[in-house]
Amino acid sequence: MATILKQDLALCEYRTFPDGESYSQVVTEPEGEVAIIQSTITDRDIIYILQLLDICRDKRVSLVIPYFGYARQDKIFKSGEPMTARAIAYAINPFLSAGSKVYTVNIHASSVLSHFSCPAQNLDATALLAERVQTLGLNNPVIISPDKGAVAMGKIAASCLGAECDYLEKTRLSGTEVSMAPKEINVIGRDVVIFDDMIATGGTMATAISILKKQGARKVYLAAVHPVLTGNAILKLYRSGVEAVLSTDTIDRGVGTISVAPLIADALKGLSGI
Ligand code: R5P
């Protein structure tokens, strides 16, 4: 991003104290406005954000959180639970001075943005994933969303690719049995690309792959913005028969080869921003 924006890239150092506490230092002190870019994959990453914000407390900050962890805790689902995504925003808010902005990429629930005290925008990397799918040279592919929640993303991907789209619908067969199938489109003999915001344990995608393969899909590809990939997720996906996993670099993983830097750089330049 620094290269795209022709700006300095400040060198930061990160260490862990013997008792486990985190230490951050900006070695080359930035001048003027700063952009802090940090995904929150682990709890420690949240501390890094707070430390960097504290270092830059006198500056106007654009805070970019490409993968916003805890965004699935956007509601109080059971009494006695916290709304963790809101708690994180509230911890960050005191550092956001006038003119500060927050950016996320395909945050799981955009309602989380309303908890920030400054303008906050969610950027959409679906078109970047679709561009990569285009290079696969698939013939007449079908875009599938693994659930209703991912339908909006599936529709955007389908319109970028000029493809048909559908979603997997659950039908309850009995108290214990559920079947899943594309709502309308027959996938027999067709290449399928499943689009979702993230792959965490891989359970959702592995189920979707198996179902689509059983229903006669030729090849099944996955396109997900955030490759969280906990535990043996990638093994589960390949065991289910996935052809390839396409993902962005919001999280630093091997499959994350599609850079979101141009998307964020455009927003920071004010081309698509708030
Ligand atoms: C859920 O609503 C999300 O969009 C993803 O489908 C989900 O978080 C993926 O989780 P997992 O990989 O653990 O099934």
pLDDT digits (tens, 9 = 90+) for 39-74: 999 999 999 999 999 999 989 999 999 999 999 999
Per-residue pLDDT at 19: 98
pLDDT at residue 181 tops 60: yes
Residue burial 249-268, b: 16+ Cβ < 10 Å; e: rest: bbbebebbebbbbebbbebb
Q: At what angle do helices 43-55 and 84-92 cross, to 10 degrees?
A: 20
Q: At 61, which helix (H) or strand (E)?
A: strand 61-65
pLDDT at residue 3 tops 90: yes
167: nearest Cα among 125, 127, 196: 196
The dihedral over CA atoms of 133, 258, 212, 146, expressed in degrees to the nearest 10, equals -120
Beta-sheet pairing, 61-65 with 101-105: parallel
CA distance 161 to 141: 9
* Residue nearest atom 10 in ligand 1 by C-alpha distance: 200
CA distance 48 to 41: 11
The mean-pLDDT minimum among 95-99, 189-193, 263-267 falls in: 95-99
204 lines ligand 1 (CB under 6 A): yes
Tell me the C-alpha to C-alpha distance, in Å, between residue 164 and each of 141, 157, 158, 191, 256: 7, 10, 6, 11, 25
DSSP readout, 76-94?
A: --STT---HHHHHHHHHGG
The arithmetic mean of pLDDT across residues 172-200, rounded, is 85
pLDDT at residue 270 tops 90: no
Sheet of 244-248, strand order: 178-182, 164-172, 142-145, 192-199, 220-227, 244-248, 256-258
97 CA to centre of ligand 1 in angstroms: 34
Q: At what angle do helices 151-161 and 126-134 cross, to 10 degrees?
A: 40
67 CA to centre of ligand 1 in angstroms: 14
Per-residue pLDDT at 239: 97
Per-residue pLDDT at 109: 95
pLDDT digits (tens, 9 = 90+) for 77-122: 999 999 999 999 999 999 998 889 999 999 999 999 999 999 999 9
52 lines ligand 1 (CB under 6 A): no
Which atom in ligand 1 lies closest to the alpha carbon of residue 150?
A: 4
Sheet of 101-105, strand order: 34-37, 61-65, 101-105, 120-123
pLDDT at residue 273 tops 60: no
CA distance 144 to 226: 17
Per-residue pLDDT at 31: 84
pLDDT at residue 208 tops 80: yes
Catalytic residue among 75, 170, 183, 269: 170
CA distance 128 to 259: 8
207 lines ligand 1 (CB under 6 A): no
Does residue 155 have an active-site annotation?
Answer: no
Q: pLDDT tier at 227 (50, 70, 90 boundaries)?
A: very high
CA distance 258 to 173: 40
168 CA to centre of ligand 1 in angstroms: 14
Average pLDDT over the chain, rounded to an integer: 94
